[in-house]
Each structure stands twice: as structure tokens, then as C-alpha cells.
Amino acid sequence: MQGLIEFIEISLTGLGMGGLYALTGVAFVLIYKATRVINLAIGEMLMVGAYLFFGLAAGLALPWWLAILFALAGGGLLGLLLERAVIRPMLGENPISVFMVTIGLGSILVGLVELIWTADPRRLPQFLPDEPIFLGPVFVFPEPFWSFVIAAAVIGVFVLLFRYWRGGVALRATALDQGAAYAMGINVPRVYALAWMLAGMIAAGAGMLLGSIAGLSPALALFGLTVLVVVIVGGLDSVPGVLLAGILIGWIESLAGSYLGGEYEHLVTFALLLVVLLVRPWGLFGTPEVERL
């Protein structure tokens, strides 16, 4: 009985992380689907979002909700800026070159953050409720719990937006056939900008949630590596795939960390990645002819 409760508790904590993986994965897939850019800087964009929140809430002492709004806006602005200044001029270049550019971008973002805030670990101001949560006899840590709830809500809103909003429809059409979308009167360059902006906002939001669970340091960007595993397992161009893979990997990682020890967390996730790459290189739900990494 005790073992079962423990298993459930560990699983629920894993789901909490899984929600963040799924959320960040959605940001990654959004950019990939709309612009076919594999954005390896997603982890760094997420970290910048967390630092923006830190700077606004702790540095400028803004109320937490205002700091969140500004940090989200800042994340969106960062996405726009990167697209306009770095990605768009690379349009039509070899995809590998663009991919390498995003790696460089990541390093630059880490460097900027370290210049401004140094590399010392920090604590994010508390903004999630910290009351312990009991579901019957099962105890859940409040941060992962609320992270999961928020991530699920945000993902839900985005899924609805993709379906019904004009811009969402334009995004899907562009993802399916750029030329046709352009001829249909859809402003494709604006769709690119929109995808990067939304991804930047999502990443910033995920960064604040992650920072409140794991603490704040430039190493937060390493989260992007696991997100890469998530999107490859789920399929680079599949939102449902990424949601499922995010939850799955969060759960597996949590189980591995608790039962085998923390050093196994990444071992198990990357082993899973290897298996998926061997068996289904396009991921669980991805399109087969999508390029491989």
C-alpha cells in the first residue's frame, strides 16, 4: 500500500515536469511547423524568460502578476527579434546552417544572461501557491502540481487558437503548404513572425514555472536538451505527439530518478531517444519524410 502511494506520488511529480516538457515542446513544434527551423535555442529562450521575471519581480520589485505579464511580453519580443534579425535573413539557406545558427544564438543568450545577472544560482520570487496538496492519501508537491495545471490550461488555449483563430488557421495552412498559403492571401512572413513570437511567449512562461520548481541559473537552458528528446520522440511536426511524449518522458524521468537514482534520469530518457531513433526515426506521430537530426 505504502509502495503504491509512493509510486503515485512519484508519478504525479513526473507529470508536473511532463507538463512543462509538453509546453516547451509545443513552442518548439510551433516554430518547426511554421518555418521548418529546428530551434535549438528554445532552452535558452526559456531561461531568458525566467531571468526576465526575476529581474522584474526581484530587481525592480514589481508585483508578481505584472512581472509575469512583462516577462511574457519580453519573451514574445525576443522571439520576434530573433526571427526578424537572425532567422529571416537565413531564409532559403541550408537547414543545417540555420540549425547551427540557433545553437550560436543559444550561447549568446546564455552569455548575455551571465553578463547581466552572473552565473550564480538564484531563487525566483514565489508566485505559485505553496500549500501542500493532498489527493486522498497522496501528497503532491505544490509547484509541479500548479505547473501542470497551468501548462495544461495554456496548451488547451493554444490548441483552440490553432483550430479557430484566423491567425491559427493561417499558421496551419502555412505549415501544410507555404506556396498555396501565400497565393491564398496569407501573409507568410507575418506567420513566421507570429510563430516565433508565440513560441517565445510560451517558452518564457515555461521558464518561469520551471524556475519556480528547480531554482534559477543559466543551467536552466539544459532543459532544452530534454525538450529536444521530447520533440524527436513525439515527432517534430506533431502537436499531439509532443504532448504525449512530454508527459511520458516527464513520468519516466521521475520514476528513474526516484527508483534508480538521480544519475539515471538522463540515461533513461536518452536511451528512450535511441530506441525511438532506431525504430521510428520520425517519432511516434511525426510525418515520415520529415528530415532527421
Residues in contact with other proteins by the rule CB under 8 A: 160-161, 164-167, 169-170, 172-173, 176-177, 179-188
Q: Is the dihedral of CA 76, 79, 85, 89 positive or negative?
A: negative
CB-based contact 204:198 (threshold 8 Å): no
Residue 186 Cβ vs other proteins, minimum distance, rounded to whole Å:
6
Residue 239: how many CA atoms within 13 Å on its side-chain side? 16
Helices (H) and strands (E) in the chain, counts: 11, 2
Residue 190 Cβ vs other proteins, minimum distance, rounded to whole Å:
9
CB-based contact 218:47 (threshold 8 Å): yes
Rounded Cα distance between 104 and 223, Å, is 17
What is the three-class DSSP state of 291?
coil
Cβ proximity to other proteins: between 142 and 167 the closer is: 167
Locate 161 and state its grid cell: 487558437
Cβ proximity to other proteins: between 166 and 262 the closer is: 166
Cβ proximity to other proteins: between 80 and 273 the closer is: 80
Residue 276 Cβ vs other proteins, minimum distance, rounded to whole Å:
23
Question: Of 171, 178, 292, 175, whose CA–CA distance to 228 is shortest?
Answer: 292
Residue 185 Cβ vs other proteins, minimum distance, rounded to whole Å:
3
Cβ proximity to other proteins: between 170 and 216 the closer is: 170
Residue 143 Cβ vs other proteins, minimum distance, rounded to whole Å:
29
Residue 175: partners with Cβ closer than 8 Å, 6 or more residues away:
33, 34, 237
What is the three-class DSSP state of 263?
coil
Cβ proximity to other proteins: between 100 and 184 the closer is: 184
Residue 115 Cβ vs other proteins, minimum distance, rounded to whole Å:
36
What is the three-class DSSP state of 39?
coil
Residue 166 Cβ vs other proteins, minimum distance, rounded to whole Å:
6
Residue 184 Cβ vs other proteins, minimum distance, rounded to whole Å:
6
Cβ proximity to other proteins: between 54 and 162 the closer is: 162
DSSP per residue over 190-230, as a string? HHHHHHHHHHHHHHHHHHHHHHHHH-B-GGGGGHHHHHHHH
Cβ proximity to other proteins: between 181 and 233 the closer is: 181
Cβ proximity to other proteins: between 121 and 189 the closer is: 189
CB-based contact 23:159 (threshold 8 Å): no
Rounded Cα distance between 102 and 80, Å, is 14
